[in-house]
Chain A
Amino acid sequence: MDNSKHQSAWSKSIPFGEQMRIIGRLFHYAAPYKWYFYFSVGFSIAVAVVNIYLPRIIQVYMDSHLVVGRTDFQMMWFFAGLYFFGMVMKAIMQFVQSYLYEMGAEYMLENTRRKLFAKLHTLGMRYFDQTPSGSILSRLTNDTMAFANFWALFNSLVVTISAMVSSFIAMYMVDLKISLWLLVFMPFLFVMVWYYQRYSTRVYRRMRERLSLLNAKLAEGITGISVIQQFRQEKRINEEFNGTNDQYYNTRKAMIRINSLLLNPMINLFYALGTVLVLGMFGVRGLHAYVAAGVIYAFITYLNNFYNPMSEMMDRLSDFQDGVVAGSRVFRIMDDQTVEPQQHPVKGATITRGKIEFRHVTFSYDNVNPVLHDVSFVAEPGQTVALVGETGSGKTSIINVMMRFYEFGEGQILLDDRDI
């Protein structure tokens, strides 16, 4: 069937400037919980620093004690204890880092939902007439969720970047020359990440589109089963479903192929080739001079730390686009100007008698075609006034303006002789 609708929602591209503006506003929503995020980032950096020191402990242990044979059990237990202490610290900080970040994101998500819900209540009936309720609901639940995922991507980015930077600093401290040589890989790495992001986002989006189409067909197949059976269309509907299922399967296979080509195996390849370079340089040096075992160990461990968190981060990159698209939709509601009729600032009287008077009320739903035209009548207290007329003649509209679901254009409505 027709899937242009599904596509349009996903494949619409947002200009870069607009994307940045949306991300800026997302940060604005995180502001009340900024301490969660500051502390979390702080702990990420602390974990990265501990990761510099742990291999250092082993290095010193190997080079200054084991190799020179100058060691006893006391010394061994000391180093083991030191290492264990480092690991315990790391474990605690890992926990706090992750928990703080996730809770911060959780509060931000729920707070956005609260704000959005409160905003919905300030919108006039006009808005609800024009927007299908399913789409409002989806803004409130799914889209806010999408930018929570987007926020998780940031966490992943922070962890990756602090790991890369700290590992590089550590390598730099161990051996300046080799660490600089490793920068040779950086351009390739960037190109790979850039290419992956570009390509996988496209495939991922197509996969999502097809999945939502597939689920829509599944739901229709079930809810529409009576019609399908009454017209004996089982075979055709099955064929259509299989077709959509096949399409989804094909994009999913494409996704698997891209991930197999560029994700984990590729990061591992980078690491392995980095190892070759490092060992090669240490080896050449080792031809004429002594290279300590601990140094090689530490350097290789840093190299591992450098690449380790990358594939997870890359895997999350596809959340970026989703988050921006979802953010833009949520902000559209936040910015909507279809306001509800204003509450009068002075609280005013309570209704005691219940006299209703319409004076020359003119009203239209869309500001073009008036539905009520110069309507005037009086309903005295205790009187019953009946409104009759054809469907669409304006009976409900009279009630709508009186209940102030909509603000009317001209005229006055008086309740107990007071303007409502």
Chain B
Amino acid sequence: MSIFIKLGWYFKQEWKIYLIGLFGLLLTALVGIVPPRIIGVLVDTIHNGKLSGQSLLVLLGVLTLAAFAQYGARYMWRTAIWGEAAKLEKVLRNRLFKHYTEMDLEFFQKYRTGDLMAHATNDLSAIQRVAGGGILQFADSMITGGTTLIAMITLIDWRLTLIAIIPFPLLAVMARYLGTKIHIAFRDSQAAFSRLNNKAEESITGIKVIKGLGQQQEDMDDFNNQVATTININRRVNRLDSLFDPMTTMIIALSYVVTIVYGGYLVTNGSITIGSLVSFVSYLAMMVWPMFAVGMLFNTLERGNASYDRVMDLLKQKSAIIDDADGVDKAPKGEIDYHIQKFSYPDDQRAALQNINFKVPAGHTVGLVGKVGSGKSTILRLILRQFDNYQGSIQFGGIDIKHYKLDALIPAIGYVPQDTFLFSDTIRENIRFARPESSQAQVEEAAQKSDLYEQIQAMPDGYDTAVGEEGISLSGGQRQRLAIARALLINPELLILDDALSAVDAETETQILANLHAERQNKTTIISAHRLSSVMNADEILVIDDGQIVERGTHAELMARGGWYREMFERQELETKVKGGAN
């Protein structure tokens, strides 16, 4: 029941429509009492030979009226209650999605995509079931069950009623018991299905390996075994599912036995009329669903409650990144002044960065090089305010980046990661993602700068070519260049290439770097790379190892120094020559 209280805010907010719904339910229940009674009265008057044309007309008239009134009342509560449930799901889904978009990286490392999806789909649908089915089951067992019971007691006979409904609570127990069992069985069935799904996915994506090793038969056997397990698990679901109707039939049968014997006795001794017995049997049938509802209500509430708590847990999480409401509103411009004494990732004691100090004057380019995992990306991510818990400060144009509003700071930075995400949309929309109102000319200009223009032209649908999940698959180099175009479109004050040229060939890299150099005269650029040719022409190059700067200087200075940089540079030179020779 506590879930009803937890959802109180929603019921309070939507009380008018819920009131209409409950009124509709009450009306349905009240009008529902009429037809069985009229049938009984008609039976009795015919039996007694007292039926007149006029009274028949009245009875039929009332019955017709009741038929239409019930239709209207049913329409009323259905649209109201189911509609409200759908609305609750919508409201919560919007809220949850907004919350997701506001969360920091830590949150997304903590929860997997699949789980976040499940919370926004399965959990929300369990909650909306409380606001729809739950309310209905609650109100129905009270309103319909109550009015029918009162009708049976007052209109027919209280002794017969009390005895005949003795087996009915069993319906509630059964609905609760079978409902719980089937829920568990169904969960197992879902799990079996997803195992089957995974198996099939593995086989389809690995088809070449399977064929190459001649493992077709083994793979098919494996799949068939998985299928056999699935059948066994589903057999249980089917058995439980098939039990609902027969169990209901059995419980009603008990009730009928009592009615036949005791009701018959009451008729023969003249306590009730034969018409009343006919009415009684109809009322009994009307009690089935409300009793069922009581049992189902517990299950609905239990699941809804667990889901609601899970969703609220998510919504309670706060992003560690706090947007300064009174922060600087103007776009940052000018020098980057980077001073970090120490930074560690939230779930890690070790220092990821130590004593990183450098400046990037406006219009300059700084290169970061170093081994994989040395901390290059971490340095860049702090500028993007993906993490705030560091010792030191980062200034952009003389102001600490924490003192800018996020809306001012972030749009001034164009960030290109090594492996980027493309949306299921056209190439055009992906390029102008940060500025959807951009013109085709601006999009093409950005594509030109990232050396993607010709390749897009060659595609059958040009800029309308769909990419992402449902579109064509681009090569790694094409994806990287598209990401660069996306960043260049906003003409950012600070451009960050985080190993963003790793998948393009040397020739294309040179071309893109030349384009950047020409275009970005007064703007700042930071390039992190594994391939040293990417940073050769930078104004300053920092060699990072284990979160610290181990060498720094221009290309010439570092070569003269003869450290890691020079060794690396010569090795890469050699590799290029070997590759060139092979061609």
A residues engaging B (CB < 8 A)?
1-2, 5, 58, 61-62, 65-67, 69, 71, 73, 76-77, 79-81, 83-84, 87-88, 90-92, 94-95, 98-99, 102-103, 106-107, 110, 113-114, 117-118, 120-121, 125, 128, 132-134, 136-137, 140-141, 215-216, 218-234, 236-238, 241-242, 245-246, 248-249, 252-253, 256-257, 259-261, 264-266, 268-269, 272-273, 275-276, 279-280, 282-284, 286-287, 290-291, 293, 296-297, 300, 304, 340, 388, 390, 403, 405
Contact = CB atoms under 8 A, between A and B. Distances in A.
A315 to B, nearest CB: 13
Ranked 7 nearest A-B pairs via Cβ: A87-B253, A272-B67, A286-B46, A265-B74, A91-B246, A231-B434, A98-B242
Interface in B36-63: 38-39, 42-43, 45-47, 49, 51-53, 56, 59-60, 63
Interface stretch (B96-104, B138-146, B359-367): B96-104
Nearest to B115: A222
A264 B86 contact: no
B70 A268 contact: yes
A263 to B, nearest CB: 9
A249 B85 CA distance: 10
Contacts of A228: 101
B113 A223 contact: yes
A125 B86 contact: no
A117 B220 contact: yes
B264 interface: yes
Nearest to B321: A229
A245 B93 contact: yes
A103 B235 contact: yes
17 contacts: A1-B425, A65-B264, A91-B246, A106-B238, A225-B101, A229-B386, A242-B94, A248-B90, A256-B86, A260-B74, A268-B74, A269-B71, A279-B39, A279-B59, A286-B56, A293-B277, A300-B282
A371 B424 CA distance: 31
A238 B98 contact: yes
Give the bracket for the number of chain B residues in contact with chain A: 35 or more
A172 to B, nearest CB: 21
Contact of A106 (B51, B101, B235): B235
A266 B52 CA distance: 31
A140 B197 CA distance: 8
A133 B424 CA distance: 16
Does more than half of chain A's interface fall in helix, strand or loop, or is it mixed? helix
B102 to A, nearest CB: 7
A140 B198 CA distance: 11
B265 interface: yes
A103 B274 CA distance: 45
A140 B254 CA distance: 46
Interface string B538-558: 000000000000000000000
Given A88-B253, A98-B241, A137-B201, A113 B227 contact: yes
Contacts of A221: 97, 100-101
Interface of B: 35, 38-39, 42-43, 45-47, 49, 51-53, 56, 59-60, 63-64, 66-68, 70-71, 74-75, 78-79, 82-83, 86-87, 90, 93-94, 97-98, 100-103, 105, 108, 113, 116-117, 120-121, 193, 196-197, 200-201, 203-205, 207-208, 210-212, 216, 219-220, 223-224, 227, 230-231, 234-235, 238-239, 241-243, 245-247, 249-250, 252-254, 256-257, 260-261, 264-265, 267-268, 274-275, 277-278, 281-282, 285, 384, 386, 406-407, 410-411, 413, 415, 417, 420-421, 423-426, 429, 433-434, 436, 466, 468-470, 486, 490, 582-583
Nearest to A237: B101
A290 B44 CA distance: 11
Given A94-B246, A232-B407, A279 B42 contact: yes
B246 A222 contact: no
A229 B63 CA distance: 63
Contacts of A241: 94, 97
Contacts of B46: 282-283, 286, 290-291, 293, 296
Contacts of B278: 62, 293, 296-297
Contact of A141 (B75, B196, B415): B196
A110 B227 CA distance: 6
A80 B260 contact: yes
A114 B223 contact: yes
A88 B261 CA distance: 18
Given A141-B200, A287-B53, A272 B63 contact: yes
A124 B49 CA distance: 84
A106 B234 contact: yes
B47 to A, nearest CB: 6
B86 A296 contact: no
A279 B63 contact: yes
Contacts of A77: 261
Contacts of A266: 71
A296 B42 contact: yes
Contact of B423 (A80, A132, A224, A248): A224
B238 A103 contact: yes
A230 B410 contact: yes
Nearest to B76: A260
B475 to A, nearest CB: 10
Given A92-B246, A221-B100, A230-B384, 7 more contacts: A1-B423, A83-B260, A91-B250, A106-B231, A117-B220, A140-B204, A215-B117
A76 B231 contact: no
Does more than half of chain B's interface fall in helix, strand or loop, or is it mixed? helix
Nearest to B489: A231
Contacts of A304: 285
Contacts of A280: 56, 60
Contact of B268 (A71, A215, A229): A71
A340 B214 CA distance: 12
A133 B201 contact: yes
Nearest to B205: A133
B27 to A, nearest CB: 12
Contacts of A128: 204, 207-208
A272 B197 CA distance: 48
Contact of A234 (B47, B102, B223, B243): B102
A125 B241 CA distance: 42
Instruction: Identify the interface centre among A125, A266, A275, A282: most chain B CB within 10 Å of its CB.
Output: A275
A84 B253 CA distance: 6
B101 A234 contact: yes
B274 A67 contact: yes
Given A67-B274, A219-B117, A257-B79, A286 B94 contact: no
Contacts of B224: 114
A58 B98 CA distance: 61
A238 B97 contact: yes
A259 B211 contact: no
Contact of A253 (B51, B86, B103): B86
A76 B260 CA distance: 7
B311 to A, nearest CB: 14
A248 B63 CA distance: 39
A84 B257 contact: yes
B268 A293 contact: no
Contacts of A284: 56
Given A76-B260, A76-B264, A80-B261, A293 B86 contact: no
Given A125-B208, A233-B433, A117 B200 contact: yes
A290 to B, nearest CB: 7
Instruction: Identify the interface centre among B193, B420, B470: most chain A CB within 10 Å of its CB.
Output: B470
A225 B212 CA distance: 38
B9 to A, nearest CB: 19
Given A77-B261, A117-B223, A249 B87 contact: yes
A324 B252 CA distance: 39
B86 A249 contact: yes
Contact of B197 (A67, A137, A273): A137
Contacts of A261: 75
B260 A61 contact: yes
Nearest to B230: A110
A151 B264 CA distance: 44
